[in-house]
Amino acid sequence: MKTLYLITGAAGHVGSAVCLRLKERGEAMRALLLPGENSTLMRQLGVEICFGDVTKPETLDEFFTLPEGTEAIVLHCAGIVEIADKHSPAAYGVNVRGTINVLERAKAAGVKKFVYVSSVHAMPDTKKGTVKTEIERYDSRKVEGAYSKSKAIAARIVLEAAKEIPAVVVLPSGIIGPYNGGSNHLVRFVKDYANGKFPACVKGGYDFVDVRDVADGIVAAADRGRSGESYILSGGYHTIRETLDLLRPIVNGKRVANIPHFLAMAAAPFAVLHARLTKKKPLFSPYALRVILENGCYSHEKATRELGFAPRDFSETLADTVQWLRDTGAIVTKQPRARRCKRRIKAT
């Protein structure tokens, strides 16, 4: 029996990294892309492409039609990352309704395995000094923010579906790294700092994990993750100041000043409004500023033990992210100014 990997959100940051990993293994893949989405990388990798929308189940027919003698593994990477506080119809539509639609089609197709890419934000916060580990039940009432709630609801639905089909949930922390991460908030953070557009540093930090390590964890979960289980895919906690200090020598950047957290919170609503007016994603919001003050200590011990998950050094991730941004022209390389030479005019 041949195995075909069905990857949703394949053109995104995580999805593209997953496709690159599966290509290295020589696996057969079928990618789901939104109509009009950039398919260049998928074509370069020789991936079979289907166009559809997880929020529109009628567009998923071709994606879930399997050749005779083929079994499928679904890697559900499609999702919307939303840092707004309030309810987000788009996030709910993709992260919840979209997951339900893909799950229903996966059940009907009798897939071999279903791996859902959730987030550590689907888990409730805990007291500082404690280490966050996997939970058995997800409850959207115990988390804050539109994104966290949508991810918690979807994770609960997937684990309930594990009674009918083999299903696993993976929980990446803050994803960063090279390859197709142009819309990623953390990659944008690196880009803005490198381009001299990061205004100030605030107190707090985050657990960062390389997108390539997340891709390895997703594929490993498909291989040997236990049905009905969740696996945290974290890298390590770093403060914003520490991250900027690691970036400085890589990009020859300047040291930015610290500002009090309350001033950043006061400015955040205006940043969100400006982003909405300019139709861009905000780099920070009240929700994001609260998140960096939460307990960011996560354990990936379970994923390491059962999946062989082994995150790389954060400095390597930052260096590779910067190089990718340079290669794609997202970081403007500063050329040294030519010194002006004053012409001497000889008196006659």
Q: How confident is the model at residue 104 (pLDDT cuts 50, 70, 90)?
A: very high
Pairing of strands 205-210, 236-239: antiparallel
Neighbours of 230 (CB within 10 A): 25
Inter-CA distances, 138 with 8, 118, 315, Å? 23, 11, 33
**Residue 150 reports pLDDT greater than 50:** yes
Q: How far apart are CA 184 and CA 189, in angstroms?
A: 9
**Residue 339 reports pLDDT greater than 90:** no
Q: 25 with 95: CB under 8 angstroms?
A: no
Structural fold of domain 2-179+206-238+297-313:
Rossmann fold (3.40.50)
Q: What is the mean pLDDT of the chain?
A: 88
Q: How confident is the model at residue 322 (pLDDT cuts 50, 70, 90)?
A: very high
User: What is the DSSP code (8-state) at residue 95?
Assistant: I
Q: 257 with 201: CB under 8 angstroms?
A: yes
* pTM score, whole prediction: 0.90
Residue-wise pLDDT tens digits, 2-20 = 999 999 999 999 999 999 9
pLDDT at res. 265:
63
Q: How far apart are CA 138 and CA 149, in angstroms?
A: 9
